[in-house]
């Protein structure tokens, strides 16, 4: 009688064993899983499924070419995909051909042009999170995306960011009611009026908004947007001008900034915190001591902590 071996285990049990190499999302043992996939034909599919569920990150053009070339040997498409280099729009399109069911996509190529038309790929119909870094090109007014996003992060590195607003307007055609978190960074100050206008379609659904606003930039374009945000719970901004603080929505529970301590307008911040009755968390990138040396700042911290507001600074350990 032939003895039973590990290769005779049901696929579900084998998958449960292999899953211990991916018990933590950020500590996946890809090398071991790849080695397991080569042990036996019965091991290949469970190992590939775990690898794809954990996500795939392609660092170079060669990685993209290799992943595309070997697509026909894979039964499973990745749920998450990160791409840091690709040769052309055609190469990126071929890569996406094998990515049906993709839910998380990062295209981080800051020094190259990005054609928004590539996102119209039918494989992206299930996409929920998009992280994009690059020089955004002109978007066709007829372009419609197949996805309904919940989270969007964009860093437009193009000079003067002339096409960022039209790109966001195209996203809004299908995602205006579903987008919950939005972060915009690295774009030109010249684009603020057009970008702020394009964001109005998302206002009622947003729960988190992150914005890159230089200390020298006017916050005026974003005041109508903030006034329309009826569900916003957290707001991040690189600066905190007094005019912006006076327009923060009453629904806010969290506020964060990377502004230097001397530039934070303490009286305006005090007025905002007095008005924002539901505020619970404040994250400041400056040192606690630097902030508390500002006139009225130490008193503001102590008075708001009494009512349950938690302050975090760069030097806080907890």
Assigned domain for 277 exists: no
Q: What's the rounded Cα separation, in Å, for the pair 278 and 308?
A: 10
The answer to whether 282 and 309 have CB atoms below 8 angstroms apart is yes
Assigned domain for 34 exists: yes
Name the E strands within the chain: 56-58, 80-83, 104-114, 129-136, 151-156, 181-185, 208-211, 234-237, 254-257, 281-284, 310-312
Q: What's the rounded Cα separation, in Å, for the pair 49 and 283?
A: 39
- Name the pairing type of β-strands 80-83 and 281-284: unpaired
Beta bridge partners of 113: 135
56 token code pair: 């795939």
pTM of the model: 0.87
Assigned domain for 61 exists: no
pLDDT at 2: 59
Assigned domain for 96 exists: no
Q: Residue 196: CA atoms inside 13 Å, Cβ hemisphere, count?
A: 20
- Encode pLDDT of 213-257 as tens digits: 998 899 999 999 999 999 999 999 999 999 999 999 999 999 999
Rg (CA), the chain: 24
Average pLDDT rounded to a whole number, residues 84-111? 92
Assigned domain for 280 exists: no
Q: What's the rounded Cα separation, in Å, for the pair 220 and 196?
A: 9
Q: What's the rounded Cα separation, in Å, for the pair 304 and 306?
A: 5
Q: What's the rounded Cα separation, in Å, for the pair 178 and 129?
A: 11
142 has pLDDT over 70: yes
pLDDT at 249: 97
Assigned domain for 44 exists: yes
26 has pLDDT over 60: no
The answer to whether 183 and 152 have CB atoms below 8 angstroms apart is yes
Residue 37 lies in domain: 10-54
Furthest-apart CA pair in the chain: how many Å? 86
Q: How many domains is the chain built from?
A: 1
Assigned domain for 30 exists: yes
pLDDT at 45: 78
Assigned domain for 91 exists: no
pLDDT at 283: 97
Q: What's the rounded Cα separation, in Å, for the pair 284 and 314?
A: 7
Q: What's the rounded Cα separation, in Å, for the pair 318 and 275?
A: 27
- Encode pLDDT of 251-307 as tens digits: 999 999 999 999 999 999 999 999 999 999 999 999 999 999 999 999 999 999 999
Q: What's the rounded Cα separation, in Å, for the pair 144 and 129?
A: 17
Q: What's the rounded Cα separation, in Å, for the pair 252 and 280?
A: 9
Give CB contacts under 8 A, 24+ apart, made by 42-48: 42/7, 42/9, 42/11, 42/14, 43/7, 43/14, 43/18, 45/11, 45/75, 45/76, 46/11, 46/14, 46/15, 46/18, 47/18, 48/74, 48/75, 48/76
The confidence band for 146, taking pLDDT boundaries of 50, 70 and 90, is very high
Closest CA to 58 of 85, 27, 79, 28: 85
């Amino acid at each position: 009688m032939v003895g039973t071996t590990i290769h005779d285990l049901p696929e579900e049990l084998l998958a449960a064993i292999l899953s211990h190499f991916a018990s933590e999302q950020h500590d996946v043992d890809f090398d071991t899983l790849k080695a397991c996939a080569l042990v036996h034909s019965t091991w290949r599919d469970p190992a590939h499924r775990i690898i794809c569920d954990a996500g795939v990150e392609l660092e170079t053009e060669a990685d993209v070419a290799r992943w595309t070339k070997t697509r026909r040997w894979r039964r499973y498409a990745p749920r998450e995909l990160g791409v840091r280099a690709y040769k052309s729009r055609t190469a990126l399109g071929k890569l996406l051909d094998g990515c049906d069911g993709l839910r998380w996509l990062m295209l981080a190529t800051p020094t190259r042009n990005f054609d928004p038309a590539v996102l119209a790929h039918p494989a992206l119909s299930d996409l929920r999170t998009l992280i994009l870094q690059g020089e955004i090109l002109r978007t066709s007014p007829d372009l419609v995306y197949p996805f309904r996003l919940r989270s969007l992060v964009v860093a437009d590195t193009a000079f003067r960011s002339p096409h960022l607003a039209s790109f966001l307007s195209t996203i809004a055609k299908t995602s205006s009611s579903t987008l919950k978190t939005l972060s915009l960074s690295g774009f030109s100050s010249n684009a603020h009026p057009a970008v702020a206008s394009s964001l109005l379609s998302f206002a009622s659904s947003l729960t988190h908004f992150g914005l890159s606003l230089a200390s020298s930039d006017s916050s005026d374009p974003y005041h109508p947007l903030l006034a329309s945000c009826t569900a916003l719970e957290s707001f991040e901004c690189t600066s905190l001008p007094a005019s912006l603080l006076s327009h923060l929505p009453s629904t806010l529970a969290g506020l964060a900034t990377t502004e230097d301590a001397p530039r934070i307008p303490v009286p305006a911040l005090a007025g905002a915190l007095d008005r924002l009755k539901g505020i619970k968390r404040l994250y400041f990138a400056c040192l606690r001591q630097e902030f508390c040396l500002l006139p009225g700042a130490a008193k503001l911290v102590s008075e708001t902590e009494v009512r349950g507001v938690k302050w975090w600074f760069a030097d806080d350990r907890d």
